[in-house]
Every structure is written in C-alpha cells, then in structure tokens.
Structure 1
Amino acid sequence: MKLDLILPLCALVALSRQAPSSECSCDLTTSESLFPHDKLEAVKAGAAKCNSDISPQKEAELDMLLLGLRRRLPRLQEDVSTLEREDDGQLYGAVSLQVIQNELTQIKQLVARLKSAVQAHEHLTANTSTQLQYLNVEMKELEAYDSMQVVSTQLTNQRLKRDLDRCTSGQNRNTAPSQPPPGNCPHGRLMNVTGPRVYTAGEPGSHKYGAWGRDPKPEAGKEGWYWLVMLTSSNRYGHYVRRYTSLSSLIVAVSTPGNVMIHSSNPTTNTIQGPNVVLHGEALYYNCYNQDSVCRFNLTSKTVTNTQLPKGTRFNSKGNFCHLDECYLYTDLDLATDESGVWVIYTTTQDFGNLVLSKVEDGEPPGLGQTWRTSLYKQGVTNAFVACGVLYATRYVDKNLEEIFYSLDTATGEERFNVGVSINKMSANIQSLNYSPVDQMLHVYSDSFLVSYKVLFE
C-alpha cells in the first residue's frame, strides 16, 4: 500500500473513534531489502585508496631515477676517457680510477633504487588490478538496488551528453583546425598502412639487399618511371641504377631504358655501399663506398658529388639497423625522401648510438641542413623513413609483422613511442623502406621481393 494512502486512512480511523489524541502510528512493510550503506562506504574507500596509490608522484619517481642514470652514464664515459688520456701507471691514473670507482658506486645505487621502485610498481599494479576487479563486482551488486533505474538513467544521459560534445567538437575541428598538421604534411597524421599493393619477385637472380621506388621530382615524361638498385657484390656494393618506364614493366622485369652505370667496376670509389638509397630529381643519393658521406650521382651528367657527414658518424657496418636475431649489414646511412626533398638518417659516437636526422640541401655539391637528434637507439630499430617532415621508425615483431612504433615531428620536436601502426610482411626481413610522396606509398625491398604499401593519413 502506498504511503500517501496510509496516512489519510490513519486519520480517518482516529476521528471515527473520537480519540482524545490526534497522534497516529502505523507499520510500513516493504518487499525491498535494506540498502547496504556500509558496502557503499567500503567501495568509496577502496576507490579513494586506488586514487592515492596510483598517483603522478609514483611515475615522477621513476622518471627522476632514469634521468639520474642518463646524466651519470655520459659523465662516467668522460671519466673513462680522461683515465685513458692521463694513465701514466702512477699518480694521475690512480686519481682518475678513484673518480671512476666513485661514479660506479653511485650508478649502482641508482640502479638498485630503480630496480626496487620497478618491483614496487609491479606489486602495486597487481594489487590495484585485483582491487579494481573487486570494486567492479561490488558496484554491479549495488546497481541491483536501483529498482527505479535512476542511476542507470543518469549514466545514460552522461554518455549521450559526452557523445554530443564529441560530435560538436568534431564538427568544429573540421571547419577550423585547432592545430596545424604535423611537420610539413598536407595530409595530416599517419594513421595506418594497408596492403601490400604490389608483391613481386625482383629480377631473375636478384640479390637479397636492394631498394626500389619512384622519383618524387622526375624529369618531364618520366613521371611514371620506377627505379631499382640491387647490391650485386657481397650484399654490400652496387654500381648501377636500373630504370623501368612503368610498374607493369617492373613486375615483368623488362627494363627498356636499361642500366645507368655509376662505374664499370664494383666496388670502387663512389660506388654504392648499403641498401638504403633513394632517387630524387634524376639523382641517386646513397652511402659512398667506404666513406662517412652521402654521394649524389647525377643520372644525366654521370657525375658524382658528395656531402661529408659530421665527425664521429658511424659507417662501414658499425651503426646498423638491427633486431634481436640479426643486423642488416651496411645500413649505417639511411637516405629518405618526402614532400620536401631528401633526408639522411644516421648515428654518431657523440650521440651514443641514437638516431640523428639531417636535411640534405640542394647545391653543387649538396649540403647538410638542419639536424634533429633523437632519444631512440638506432640498433633497436629495423628501418626508418620520413613522411611529411615526420621521421618514423619500425621494429621487428615477428616474421609476419613489422611495427611503426616511433615518430619525431621536425616541426615541433615532439617524439612519440606509441605510434602502433602494423605492417603485414610478405617475407621475414625488410632491407630497405622508403616513402614516396608521389602516391603516398611505402616501397619495401624484402629478401629479394619488391613490395609496396599504401599509407593512410588523417
């Protein structure tokens, strides 16, 4: 019986009995069980504990320890270099050695603290995960008391409002972008890679290492041409560029223009070393034979000019792309093209093996332009390319999958380690990978096979 009917009934009974008192008492019986306020309070306390346990300060602690290690290790290397210069077997060497021992002690202490912090975080993560599962179960039980669906209706309204806000902000963003596109890209951020679009064997008897693609700045009448470079000597050297007038002629291995020779013998001065080459403006850019410099071979004049890279640049297979099982030989210098021109990706001893990106400027000879330094270790990378002024790096997942996991936006200097774009491989290894701004394709040379993928932008 409803409460609003019970009260008038009590009043009527009291009047009929002509009782001297106007007070009325009655019993209210309900089929609903009592709401467990104590359980709700326990859930609120558990949620508050999770919020206090997982805090920004916990992450800041790890960041500070890692920062300390990053600063200590270069200092230790400097101290070792000092010891090597001053070691006379007597006083100076003993003093420098004592400094190094002190540095090592401090580094060991930092490593111990870092290990302890990581273990504590792992334990905290496991406990918090268990607690969240428990809270989730408790909340579902509490929702059963919402017989009139008040709370669920509020949650539904909140979701609808959130979706409406997203839709409204999305429309506004399309008409008036809040941020410029990354780098020099007119397409927006790289979102996905699909394909392969092309998958074909190379020339008969072709070699494991090589590269292929299109010229982003071709001569008139050669807009649809393709090029191919194979390392024909020891998977290390090449001395010609093979041209094709169309994709179909490339697939059936019919090279009508034939080979453009850099030199008649191989290897020799100015021939190609390593697979990471590109063609741009009827000129081939590559790692000069046995040098830490970029060669540019003009296919029309048959002349070679070169650009010297900074002192300490690693070459002759000392700074390769690698994964756990193997390194790709003589991939010290990686040439790349995008909408703005030619880039070179390399590493130096001064950068402790991290990737370095430099713009190659036009000129006679070509010059080295602006340079960007990254925090990405080169031998933890299997390949790299540049698209729209953004450097991307890949890593080996397994024989069927490669992942674009890293990016550096040259316009903002922002680094990302969570790009998370997968490439479905047709063969286990990718010896060269380059982006073509002509058609937004990735051209891959993979264990003698020529493969291409479509790049999808935002």
Structure 2
Amino acid sequence: MLLKLCLCQTKLFILMFGSRSTSDMSRSNILILMIIIPLTFFQSVRGKGCVCDLKNSDPAFPDQKLKRVEAMSAQCIESITSERMTDLDRLLLGLQQRIKQLEDNVLLLEKEDDNNLYAAVSLRIIELEFAEIQDLLNKLNRTTNDYQLLNVQVAGQLENMKDTMAELEKFDNMQVIKMDLENQRVKRDLEKCKNDLKVTIPPPTVAPARCGLGEVVGVVGPRTYSITVYSTSYPYGAWGRDANPAPGDENKYWLVVLTSSNVYGYYVRQYSTLSTLLLGIGPKDTYISSSNPTTNTIQGPNMVMYANALYYNCYYTYTVCQFNLATRAVSTVVLPSDTGYNSKFPFGHVTSSYSYTDLDFASDESGIYVIYATTSNFGNVVITKLETSSPPVLGQTWKTSLFKKTATNTFMVCGVLYATRYLDKETEQIFYSYDTKTMEERYDLKINIKKMQTNIEFLNYDPRDHLLYAYSDAYIVTYGLVFK
C-alpha cells in the first residue's frame, strides 16, 4: 500500500465584531473586539485521501450576547437623536422670545396715553400673551419629563451593555482591545500636552480701577422707561438690582419711594423680576420701622443694595445706615463730623436743588462707596470706600476738587467717579470724572444722556449688567453705557 503524507495548513480564525461606543453614540464610533480562537489539529492518513480533524480548545463564542448588545445600541441611537435633543432648546428660545415680546408690549401700552379708551383691549392682549406663554411652559414641562424618563432608561441599558462587553472581552486572548484602549489613552495624553503648549498665558488680574471695560464714552437709551405703581405722586425714589446678590436672588429688583414729604422712606419693596416690577405684581415689602420719619429710616433718594443690605443716609444725621433685609437689623457708621447733611451740600443746578441729597451711594465692580462733601474740603466732593462688614467700616478716602452743588448726580464705574450736570429739560451731561487709582481729574467730558423727564433724582451703575439705573420724576429708567 502506498502511504501518502498529508499536511493540513494551520490557520488562526479571527472573529471580529463591533459595538456602538457608549460614550458617544451620536458619532457611531465602532469598538472592534477581535477574538483569537486557537485551533488544535489532528492528522491522519487513510488510503489515497487526507483527513484533517480540527478541535476548538476554547468555549464557544456567545454571539447571541453580541447581537443583543447591537440591538440595544441601535435602540439607543434611535431614541436619542440630535433632532430630539434640540426640541428643548427650541422651546426655551421660544419662551424667551415670547416673554421679551410681552415685556415690550407692556412697555408700549404703558407709554400710550389713551385715557383708558383701549384699556379692555390692552388687558385682553396681555391675557392672550400670558396664555401662549403658559402653553409653552406646559410643553417645556412635558418635554423635560420625557427626557428624564428616557435618561433613566438609557442609563440602565448602557450599564447592561458595558457589563456584556466586559464579559465578551474575556475572549480576547491576545489582549488586542486592551492594547487599543491603551493606545487611545496615550493619544489623548499627547493631544493634551500639545494643547497645553499652545495655551496663551492668561493676563494678570486687573485692579478694580482698571477692570477691563475702559472709560465711559457714551450713553445709549433709554432701554427701560416706565411709571411705577405709585404713579406720579412721589417724584423722589430709587431702584435697581443687588450688586452682589445671594444665589437665587440674581433676578430680583428693589424699589424705594420717598412717600413722606418726598424726603423720607421706611420700607423696601422687592420684585422677583423686571416684568413683575413693571406690572406691579407680587411685591414683597420689608419695613425698616413702623412709622416715618424716625430713627434709622431713609433720608434722601440716594441709596444702593449690596449683599441683601440697603445702604442709605440715616434720618437727620451724617451717618451711613446698613439695613439687612433678612434680619431687619440696622448697623451704622458715622462720617467725619464736618460732613454736610440736611441739604447743606445737596446736588443741584442753577435753578433748583435736590433736597436731602448730601450723601450719595454708588456701587461698582469692587464694592460700594459713599460720596459726600465736607467743610474742610470746601464743599467739594469726598469719596470713601465702604467695607461691607456689619457694622460697615469706612475705608480709603479720596478728596476731589469738584464742588458738590454743581453736580446733579454721581456714579462709580471700575473705580472711576463720574458726575453729571443739568443742561436742559431734555439733556443731562456727564462732564466730570475722578480716577481713584491714578487720582486724575477731568472736567472735559461731554457725554449726553437723553432724559424722559425733567429731573433725575437718583442715578447708579450696576456692575452686573453695565446699565445705569435712574429714578426720574417718578419714572424708572435704564441706560446702556458705551465703553472705550
């Protein structure tokens, strides 16, 4: 018998399968799992033919588990699409636009003087706007609930897929996946190193007097113009936002109207938003005292809110009052004994003066200041930084050459004091500045402010939105500042 030796060619069978990456299903990254199956060969020779027997020494690959992972991955991709994720953004944008439109409509209706001829129609328009906004809110709530449920479901599915893939990786005898993951990590580290080398060194911290905005070169607006719920009965008052609010109070607005002889006030009114202030809806009143005027009540229209505390001129003294709205406690600090008060050095112009405006308060990026005049400085403006402890403490002081009675108002921006003067019934002008960093004074500024009423009794800068807040003959007004 002729024996014939048969040689069976040895081969390695490589199984490859993929799964969607759980970290970024939208990009459909493919995770390649390579399974190396060792084969054992047996040779035998029978007659003229050659028979090779092959036997797999490893357990069978669980391909059904792989198919389940692929099915779950496809289901996740179908559930979470870019189109569905943008639904929430579209609803939020629509809601924002409708609220802005409602504010504009309310402002427009308030400016119209039709002797209540169209009052019912106007209220109906506002009612319809509210209904549409409520409809958007309902859709937003339903969409949010759907996404929360979807998030819970997908999170469970992802955990199951991760566990299954970890089990399947045990079949990777040559550790191909492990090396691939290590290569990806090294690539990420290299990219991070390259990006770190390209990063520009951040600029040094700028002092408050040079907070990056530049000098004020223009005033635009008004952006907001509205009568308060007190109507025109009380031309003196103040309003604005907290320059350093507590978390959750960022959108609140405050209003103080001098309801006693246009000189004194004894409570602070707060609103949750600008819209509720303009509409007079849902105010919260916090009382300094039960009557007016009396010890520690407000004297004069100049005041600011900082860290949920109101700073103002205490009644009938040259003292700074700090009223904590949370505890209703009043703390005080006394100014120099030659400080003018009770209309000794008020703001004013040629034909009139603003009563009891001896002390002015201003907020900016670095905190709050009190602006006043003293006899030792010949009635010229003095600026003192207030440390907002409880009680407050007088900080650094600067003396200027600006005679206080020639100005109608002052405000601070980035450590620079700006003063205004009365030009005519339509125009107020920023004409003076004093830089507390360089101590440079300028009298050559000619920045006009368009007035909606004859007088501006209160003016302050908000460092959060870079707007000027004015109280002008019972009207509340905001202006935008233009920086160099």
TM-score by length of 1: 0.60
Q: What is the distance in 2 between the residues matched to 1:297 and 1:248?
A: 26
Partners of 1:351 and 1:414 lie apart in 2 by: 17
| Aligned equivalent of 2:425 | 399
Name the counterpart of 1:232: 259
1:18-59 Cα shifts (integer Å, max 9, x gaps): xxxxxxxxxxxxxxxxxxxxxxxxxxxxxxxxxxxxxxxxxx
Measured in 1, the distance between the counterparts of 2:208 and 2:310 equals: 28
8 A contact 2:410–2:417 mirrored in 1: yes
Paired residues of 1:271 and 1:289 also in contact (CA < 8 A):
yes
Match of 1:370 among 392, 396, 399: 396
Q: Call closer, same or farther: CA 1:257–1:199 in 2, change over 3 Å.
A: closer
| CA–CA distance in structure 2, aligned partners of residues 334 and 443 of structure 1 | 14
Larger radius of gyration: 2
Determine the structure 2 residue equivalent to 1:331: 357
1:184 Cα deviation from its structure 2 partner: 3.8
Aligned to 1:220: 247
Partner Cα separation in structure 1 for residue 291 and residue 257 of structure 2? 15
Letter of the aligned partner of 2:376 in structure 1? Q
2:376: which partner in 1?
A: 350
Relative to structure 1, the CA distance from residue 305 to residue 358 in structure 2 (aligned partners, 3 Å threshold; closer, same or farther) is: same
- 1:341 is matched with which residue? 367
Which residue among 305, 311, 331 is the counterpart of 1:305?
A: 331
Deviation at 1:191, TM superposition (A): 1.4
CA contact (8 A) 1:181 1:187 kept: no
SS in 1 for 2:411: strand
In 2: Cα distance, 1:365 partner to 1:248 partner:
34
From the superposition, tell whether residues 182 and 271 of structure 1 become closer, same or farther in structure 2 (CA, over 3 Å): closer
CA distances 1:403-426 after superposition (whole Å, capped 9, x unpaired): 000000000000001121110000
Displacement of 1:181 in angstroms is 8.3
CA distance in 1, matches of 2:295, 2:207: 42
Give the secondary-structure state (helix, strand or coil) at the position aligned to 1:327: coil
| Structure 1 equivalent of residue 304 of structure 2 | 278
- C-alpha displacement of 1:253: 1.5
- Whether the 8 Å contact between 2:432 and 2:445 is mirrored in structure 1 is yes
Q: What runs of 5+ residues in structure 2 fail to find an aligned partner? A: 1-201
Q: Which structure shows the bigger proportion of residues in strand conformation? A: 2
Which residue of structure 2 lines up, in the alignment, with residue 17 of structure 1? none
Counterpart Cα distance in 2 of 1:372 and 1:207: 34
Q: Secondary structure at the match of 1:363?
A: coil
Structure 1 position 207 matched with structure 2 position 241: no
- Distance in 2, matches of 1:437 and 1:450, equals 18
| One-letter amino acid of the structure 1 residue matched with residue 466 of structure 2 | Q
**What SS does structure 1 have at the residue aligned with 2:223?**
strand
Match of 1:292 in 2: 318
2:208–2:365 CA contact under 8 A, matched in 1? no
Which stretches in structure 1 are left out of the alignment for 5+ residues?
Answer: 1-175
Structure 1 residue 315, shift from structure 2 partner: 0.3
CA distance in 1, matches of 2:408, 2:234: 19
Distance 2:420 2:229 in 1: 27
Matched, 1:382 2:408: yes
* Contact 1:182/1:409, CA 8 A, preserved across alignment: no
Matched, 1:185 2:206: no
How much does 1:257 deviate? 4.4
Query: Which amino acid is the alignment partner of residue 230 of structure 1?
Result: V
What does 1:14-413 align with in structure 2 at a 5 Å threshold?
183-205=209-231, 206-254=233-281, 256-413=282-439
Query: What amino acid sits opposite 1:412 in the alignment?
Result: T
Matched residue type, 2:236: Y
Which residue of 434, 452, 456 corresponds with 2:478? Answer: 452
| Letter of the 2:260 counterpart | S
CA contact (8 A) 1:184 1:340 kept: no
**Secondary structure at 1:322 match in 2:** coil
Q: Once the two structures are superposed, what CA deviation does each residue of 1:365-414 show, in whole Å capped at 9, x if it has no partner? A: 11000001011100011110011100000000000000000000000000
Residue 218 of structure 2 contacts residue 483 of structure 2 at CA under 8 Å; is this kept in 1? yes
CA distance in 1, matches of 2:406, 2:439: 21
- Amino acid paired to 1:244: Y
Q: CA deviation at 1:182?
A: 8.2
Q: Does the 8 Å CA contact 2:243/2:463 hold for their aligned counterparts?
A: yes
In the TM superposition, residue 457 of structure 1 has moved relative to its aligned partner by 1.3
1:432 and 2:446 correspond: no
Q: How much does 1:189 deviate? A: 1.2
Which residue identity lines up with residue 404 of structure 1 in the other structure? Answer: I
Calculate the aligned-residue CA RMSD, in Å: 1.7
Amino acid at match of 1:353: G
Note if contact 1:181-1:189 (Cα within 8 Å) is conserved in structure 2.
Answer: no
Distance 1:236 1:189 in 2: 33
SS of the aligned residue for 1:455 comes to: strand
Aligned-residue identity in percent: 54
Contact 1:196 1:451 (C-alpha < 8 Å) held by counterparts: yes
